[in-house]
Structure 1
């Protein structure tokens, strides 16, 4: 004679409910991932974890124990479950394997198609903006930037976007060095006032400062730590870049930079990380 199912068995069966047609292995995997997601905010007790997942304590304990065995979670008495060393290892490996050009490319293509203007991607390299990717626009406008070019930070929109987290002392140093190296003359007080405005809104402009009759809108890309690691820009002839259009493009450029940043692991809850004083 078979034993009647226990209350725990009935509850566990009820938990599967609409998932009853799913493959058991897939269901277990998804539940395990749900456990990991539930621990994101910090240590959590078994009772809290079970309640958050809508599972019985026995099922939750079984899933968590399996994750502890594989080092994805650890358990601290009186505190509860939190991330284990395996997730730290995987996060480091994922960051090492991430190629910003590869991650950004589909976003850049979409932005270029929607704006019909030239889109650039660049990083900071030895106090210059190094251009890593470029998608030409559909308009008959020649933008002189090339992949592999290294341009001044303080006279290009992309370069200024890379500097939004820097302090004023570093801005002044770079500004003076760029002018001494041949960048177009400019008034530092006006330049700094604009930079402070750019910091406040999270994007930068090039108002024909680097190339005559060429304007651009740029925004920074951040990594999982919140640090600026790259920037994008949309460039076109000044006739297509009236002030009101540059303002309108700001949302599109910031939105694209945000999407790339999120693909790199950044989230809106991560605060800006001040730029290190010495960077490659």
Structure 2
């Protein structure tokens, strides 16, 4: 099975945009919206999105692990503003043990922060599913990030979000069949298909939020094309990994 040369670096994402620098055809997020969004940074520069699921853990995509010193920025929607910014050192990265590449699935990673995040007016955690349950097709969800706002766009400082609809697994696979790609079983599809909205490079790792619940993680699109391709954007389905998440976070009694 061929690998995609470019993977979505969705910073997802709250809600999720195409992996890269910003959400495509998105809107600027209000200060009191998506307060769980995190900028995952390497050597002080934004590389992916993420989202706070407990005071000491941020959830993101496994393919966002590029080595180097990683930090997480919380408490602001504008990465250039110093006010309210909270920077946390990542003390340990828990990449799913079965992750190989985005097309093999398991594109999920937990980041353990150096200290508990104080929840406040600017920072909150988002709930994730408590049991494995399929996401209904045509559900209106939100994806967000600091990624590109077009295929060859440039990075932006403000958090953007877009409303996207989920796509049934059979319909999604039929679309990807046209480019000879078999999707992993642990994924959800939304946006970027018969639509002009979705995630882009830099949005990877961000959440797909449906009815206030983070159900997916921005994983990949087609060859980094955000403008838009004829296939849906692909997200890791969080509910498929609940046992691993609980086991991993329980190690520090912080979940």
TM-score, scaled to structure 2: 0.25
Structure (1 or 2) with the greater helix fraction: 1
Q: Which has the larger radius of gyration?
A: 1
Greater RCO, 1 or 2 (C-alpha within 8 Å, sep 6+): 2
Structure (1 or 2) with the greater strand fraction: 2
TM-score, scaled to structure 1: 0.23
